[in-house]
Chain A
Amino acid sequence: MNLSAGFKPLAMILPGLALAVLIIGYPIYDLGYASLHEVSRFGQFRGLNGLTNFRDVFQDPLFYGSLIRTVIWTFAVVGGTLALSLPIAMMLNEEFYGRGLARVIIMLPWSISLTMTAVVWRWALNGRAGLFNATLMDLGILKEPIEWLGEAHQAFTVEILIGILVSIPFTTTIFLGGLSALPQDSYEAAAVDGATRWDQFRHITLPLMKPFINIAVVLNVIYVFNSLPIIWVMTEGGPANGTDILVTYLYKLAFRFGQLGKASAISLIMFGVLMVFTIIYVLLVMRGEAGADAEE
């Protein structure tokens, strides 16, 4: 199995490992240190202040507002994405005319920077001159143009829908990977036994796809929870903090308001949440690999 062990493989992984530890490890340490200190606007430490930064965070109504919206944002985007991506992947996994083109189109949003997507949508949704209103008015669905991003609830809903749109390609890709590995003979056997397509879906596809669905849920939760560009570009968390989620609020605290101690505390809280999901992900992957090893 192994060629020659020794120190060679370690020497091969070490340079990359060193860079990752420096760039990812050091900031975690720095944030931990800063969160326990009073920090001036300009980043000077003014002495230990225990958990004051965390207390400030937990007494801040804007933090709770952002937290609740983060939960809504994450659940809505991930839920919507999964509900759409599984049927899409199942269709793309079957032969039909133009399948190659359909795949290319559905993967398209993935190739474009979220920033650019958000910029284009911000213009398309412009109340006075946006082509979204133009289209709806041409189709007779709207009589008057709507200012889509002018009011917080509506803007947030629009942002969630765009979040779903840009998450579909990645999720569909995971599902396509899973579907292509499903055993074809169990479907044939089921068809012989007279199972309907719905039965096949419920009793064969869904159980066999479960590991892929689990992974898609966890990865999407992590990505969406951390996603800044869509909300930042379209509304910057406004109007009146009404579309702020934790990442936008954190970014404002750190780089607009100069509340570095408090921002460090929020970073650490988010890091903790992220760790929980990451550990779930690692366990899922490890379990999948253990299963694969056992089969060998």
Chain B
Amino acid sequence: MLKKSLLFWLILSPLVVVILFPFGVMFVTAFRPREELFTYPPTWTFSEFRWANFAEMWVKTNFGRALLNSLYVSVLSTVLAMILSIPAAYALSRYRFPGKRAYRTFLLMTQMMSPIVLVLGLFRMMVTLGLVNTLNSLVLTYAAFNMAFTIWMLQSYFSTIPRDLEEAAWIDGAGHLTSLLRVFLPLAVPAMAVTAIFGFINSWNEFVLALTMIRSSDGFTLPVQIYSQVAGRYQIEWHHVMAATMLATLPVAIVFSWLQRFLIRGMALGAVK
């Protein structure tokens, strides 16, 4: 076991190094004094931890605003997607209905639709609806594009909740709604929470639509705000960019690491059957 463990870690080590490398780069650049950004030859070491970089960055890159925008869009789009997905997933896992097969095919197809191919049409649609340059355009599109994933995940989890429990509740005289609220819902809450968090992370990280729909910097979400600090600039304040990237990335990475085993389980259960 020990020998095998060492061997496996040895084989995995190049990949582990390459994966952790960008985090190292983020870290040492974010804390580095500005004067030491372009030392030659470049080095990993630096003279002091300049915590002030973060405070400066917060003001200069308008980080707070972008953070609020990202939170607004991610929370609302996730809530909308969940409100629409939960009944749909319940119907898929509990009922037989005409057109079920066609509906499942439709879900699989929308799961494959990528925003980039439709982005021009979406932009024109948002112009028509008067939603261009509003965060709500992102709420609607993210919810729509995430729904296929959330419905699949929820449905595969719902199918593992035994139907007998609900049926037993009816026999005991509980109404349909009561059994749903008292029996099914408590069992389904963990799956809903996990699915919602993955939906949230998807929205949090989205780039193409945010770049396209939002025209003024007040409405930028975090990925676009950080991109705008890099794109087409004569002078890039890399220590600010890396500090911002670190703040925007770490919380999500921690939550994701904690939850990734549920994703593996969800996929094994049926998202990819």
B-binding residues in A (CB < 8 A): 1-5, 8-10, 12-13, 15-17, 19-20, 22-24, 26-31, 34, 43, 84, 87-88, 91, 94-98, 102-117, 119-124, 128-135, 137-138, 145, 165, 168, 173-174, 176-178, 180-181, 212, 215, 219, 222-223, 226, 228-229, 233, 236, 247, 250-251, 254-255, 260, 263-264, 267, 270-271, 274, 277-278, 281-282, 285-286, 288-289, 292
Q: Are B114 and A226 in touch, CB under 8 angstroms? A: yes
Whether A106 touches B144, Cβ cut-off 8 Å, given contacts A34-B124, A135-B44, is no
Q: Are A180 and B87 in touch, CB under 8 angstroms? A: no
Residues of A within 8 A of B95 (CB): 2-5, 8-9
Q: Are A115 and B127 in touch, CB under 8 angstroms? A: no
Could you mark each residue 37-79 of chain B with 1 if its beta carbon is under 8 Å from any beta carbon of chain A, else 0?
Answer: 1111111100000000000000000000000000000000000
Q: Residue of A at shortest CB range from B95?
A: A9
Contact of A251 (CB < 8 Å), options: B9, B116, B273: B116
Residues of B within 8 A of A267 (CB): 117-121
What is the CA–CA distance of A87 and B14 in the complex, to the nearest angstrom? 14
Q: Are B207 and A114 in touch, CB under 8 angstroms? A: yes
**Count class of interface residues, chain B:** 35 or more
Contact of B257 (CB < 8 Å), options: A88, A104, A173, A177: A104
Q: Residue of B at shortest CB range from A26?
A: B125
Q: Are B124 and A131 in touch, CB under 8 angstroms? A: no
Residues of A within 8 A of B39 (CB): 129
Q: Are A102 and B273 in touch, CB under 8 angstroms? A: no
Q: Are A134 and B43 in touch, CB under 8 angstroms? A: yes
Q: Residue of A at shortest CB range from B99?
A: A10
Residues of B within 8 A of A178 (CB): 268
Q: Are A2 and B114 in touch, CB under 8 angstroms? A: no
What is the CA–CA distance of A215 and B156 in the complex, to the nearest angstrom? 17
Chain B facing A: main interface SS: helix
Q: Are B42 and A129 in touch, CB under 8 angstroms? A: yes
Contact of B1 (CB < 8 Å), options: A10, A20, A95: A95
Residues of A within 8 A of B117 (CB): 226, 247, 267, 270-271, 274
Cβ of A102 to closest chain B Cβ, rounded Å: 6
Q: Residue of A at shortest CB range from B120?
A: A254
Whether A12 touches B15, Cβ cut-off 8 Å, given contacts A119-B245, A122-B230, A128-B42, is no
Q: Are B42 and A5 in touch, CB under 8 angstroms? A: no
Q: Are B260 and A104 in touch, CB under 8 angstroms? A: yes
Q: Are A110 and B29 in touch, CB under 8 angstroms? A: no
Q: Residue of A at shortest CB range from B248?
A: A116
Residues of B within 8 A of A176 (CB): 264, 268
Complex A-B: 11 CB contacts under 8 Å: A8-B95, A19-B143, A20-B144, A30-B125, A34-B121, A111-B201, A130-B42, A131-B24, A133-B42, A212-B272, A236-B231
Q: Are A222 and B242 in touch, CB under 8 angstroms? A: no
Residues of A within 8 A of B226 (CB): 115-116, 119
For A177, A267, A282, A286, which residue has the most chain B Cβ atoms within 10 angstroms? A177
Q: Are B263 and A120 in touch, CB under 8 angstroms? A: no
Residues of B within 8 A of A3 (CB): 94-95, 163
Cβ of A268 to closest chain B Cβ, rounded Å: 9
Residues of A within 8 A of B25 (CB): 120, 123-124, 131
Whether A10 touches B97, Cβ cut-off 8 Å, given contacts A23-B140, A110-B256, A129-B42, is yes
7 smallest A-B Cβ distances: which pairs?
A: A27-B121, A111-B256, A113-B205, A23-B144, A177-B268, A16-B84, A12-B87
Q: Are B125 and A27 in touch, CB under 8 angstroms? A: yes
Residues of B within 8 A of A123 (CB): 25, 29, 238, 241-242
What is the CA–CA distance of A226 and B114 in the complex, to the nearest angstrom? 7
Contact of A285 (CB < 8 Å), options: B22, B140, B273: B273
What is the CA–CA distance of A180 and B264 in the complex, to the nearest angstrom? 10
Q: Is B183 an interface residue (CB 8 A)?
A: no
Q: Is B159 an interface residue (CB 8 A)?
A: no
Whether A134 touches B44, Cβ cut-off 8 Å, given contacts A124-B25, A292-B273, is yes
Residues of B within 8 A of A34 (CB): 120-121, 124
Q: Are B38 and A13 in touch, CB under 8 angstroms? A: no
Q: Are A91 and B8 in touch, CB under 8 angstroms? A: yes
Residues of B within 8 A of A286 (CB): 105
Q: Are A228 and B127 in touch, CB under 8 angstroms? A: no
Q: Are B256 and A91 in touch, CB under 8 angstroms? A: no
Residues of A within 8 A of B249 (CB): 112-113, 116
Cβ of A291 to closest chain B Cβ, rounded Å: 9
What is the CA–CA distance of A110 and B257 in the complex, to the nearest angstrom? 10
For B12, B22, B124, B222, which residue has the most chain A Cβ atoms within 10 angstroms? B22
Q: Is B122 an interface residue (CB 8 A)?
A: yes
Q: Are B122 and A97 in touch, CB under 8 angstroms? A: no
Residues of A within 8 A of B38 (CB): 128-129
Whether A13 touches B87, Cβ cut-off 8 Å, given contacts A91-B8, A108-B19, A274-B112, is yes
Q: Are B208 and A229 in touch, CB under 8 angstroms? A: yes
Q: Are B208 and A228 in touch, CB under 8 angstroms? A: yes
Could you mark each residue 237-261 of chain B with 1 if its beta carbon is under 8 Å from any beta carbon of chain A, else 0?
Answer: 0100110010011001101110011
Q: Is B171 an interface residue (CB 8 A)?
A: no
What is the CA–CA distance of A87 and B22 in the complex, to the nearest angstrom? 24
Q: Residue of B at shortest CB range from A255?
A: B212
Contact of B90 (CB < 8 Å), options: A10, A12, A104, A277: A12
